[in-house]
């Protein structure tokens, strides 16, 4: 599919919406396998691979990562629609380690702190894109993503350790100017938003008392990317320290 318009918007703003990325049948297949994974795989995972607000309440599952050990999700990162979009936006061949799943369960006060994904990834050049697919209707009430327009062109911002499970680092100097440049991204199931690894983004808590805000994401990095191993080791150490402080077994 031609993606010149999407590439232009991505380069200018640091993000682009694709409505829809998946058709109904493709979305139904993905949802069925996510349900299977939650039902059959999650109970055996360590805390660091499946985060709960309250592990005694399965309905409060909020994040799953390192899902590539499952055969379906190991292969899914090569789905042609996802890889075609990633390669068009980055401009070179891409690879991915594995998908992630996020949720903001109703009745939980969980915000996503402002951050830049590549602060976690430590890749140079920053030819890395996150494609984030809505699994539920997503809007301001249940915590849609909010991007700082054009922030991918301004370099790294200062981050420090966060106390928010699943996001070990957050921007420390998020300002009034940042808030005024934010763009909220409402989506329907099957819609996706793709953002540059340097784009600042955040999300409010889910204020709905009945609706979840589930999403499925894959990070793709370009073939030219090299990891700063020293910086990445520092990030992993900070994440381990956070997990220990929160009492997680990883």
CATH of the domain at 223: 2.60.120.620
Residue of 156 and 110 predicted with greater confidence: 156
Nearest partner of 216 among 44, 64, 61, judged by Cα: 64
Residue 113 falls inside a structural domain:
yes
CB 198 within 8 A of CB 152: yes
Higher pLDDT, 19 or 166: 19
Q: Region 152-167: what's the mean pLDDT? A: 84
Question: Does 231 have pLDDT greater than 90?
Answer: no
Q: What is the pLDDT of residue 132?
A: 98
Say if residue 246's pLDDT is above 60: no
For residue 250, being part of any structural domain is answered with no
In 117-217, which residue ranges form alpha helices assigned H by DSSP?
117-121, 176-181
Angle between helix axes 4-13 and 80-90 (nearest 10 degrees) is: 60
Least confident of 52-66, 71-85, 110-124, 231-245: 231-245
Residue 249's pLDDT band, with cuts at 50, 70 and 90, is: low
Peptide bond just before 125 cis, omega within 30 deg: yes
pLDDT value for 247: 61
In which band, very low, low, confident or very high, does the pLDDT at 245 lie, cut at 50, 70 and 90?
A: low
The whole domain housing 57 covers 4-245
> CA 188 from chain center: how many Å?
16
To the question of pTM greater than 0.85 for the whole model, the response is: yes
Mean pLDDT of 214-219: 98
| C-alpha span between 27 and 31 (Å, rounded) | 6
Residues 123-156: tens digit of each pLDDT = 999 999 999 999 999 999 999 999 999 999 999 9
| Contact indicator for 138, 212 with CB cutoff of 8 Å | no
For residues 132 and 185, give the distance between their C-alpha atoms in angstroms, rounded to a whole number.
11
140 with 211: CB under 8 angstroms?
Answer: no
Q: Could you report the per-residue pLDDT of 57-94, keeping only the tens digit for each?
A: 888 899 999 999 999 999 999 999 999 999 999 999 99
* Residue 18 banded pLDDT, cuts 50, 70, 90: very high
Number of domains in the chain: 1
């Amino acid at each position: 599919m031609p993606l010149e318009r999407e590439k232009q918007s991505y380069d200018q703003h640091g993000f682009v919406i694709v409505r829809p990325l998946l058709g109904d049948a493709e979305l139904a297949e993905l949802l069925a396998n996510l349900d299977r994974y939650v039902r059959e795989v999650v109970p055996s995972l360590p805390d660091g691979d499946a985060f709960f607000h309250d592990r005694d309440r399965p309905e409060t599952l909020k994040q799953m990562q390192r899902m590539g050990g499952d055969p379906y999700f190991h292969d899914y990162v090569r789905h042609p629609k996802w890889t075609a979009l990633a390669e068009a936006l980055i401009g070179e061949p891409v690879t991915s380690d594995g998908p992630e799943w996020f949720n903001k369960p109703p009745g939980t006060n969980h915000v996503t702190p402002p951050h830049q994904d590549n602060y976690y990834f430590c890749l140079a050049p920053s030819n890395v894109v996150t494609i984030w697919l809505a699994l539920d209707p997503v809007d301001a009430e249940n915590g849609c993503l909010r991007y700082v327009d054009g922030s991918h062109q301004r370099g790294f911002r200062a981050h420090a350790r966060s106390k928010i499970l699943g996001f070990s680092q957050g921007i420390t100097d998020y300002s009034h100017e940042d808030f005024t440049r934010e763009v909220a991204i409402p989506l329907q199931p099957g819609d996706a938003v793709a953002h540059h690894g340097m784009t600042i983004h955040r999300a409010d808590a889910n204020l709905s008392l009945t609706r979840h805000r589930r999403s499925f994401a894959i990070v793709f990095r370009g073939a030219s990317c090299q990891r700063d191993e020293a910086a990445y080791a520092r990030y992993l150490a900070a994440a381990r320290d956070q997990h220990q402080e929160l009492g997680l077994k990883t």
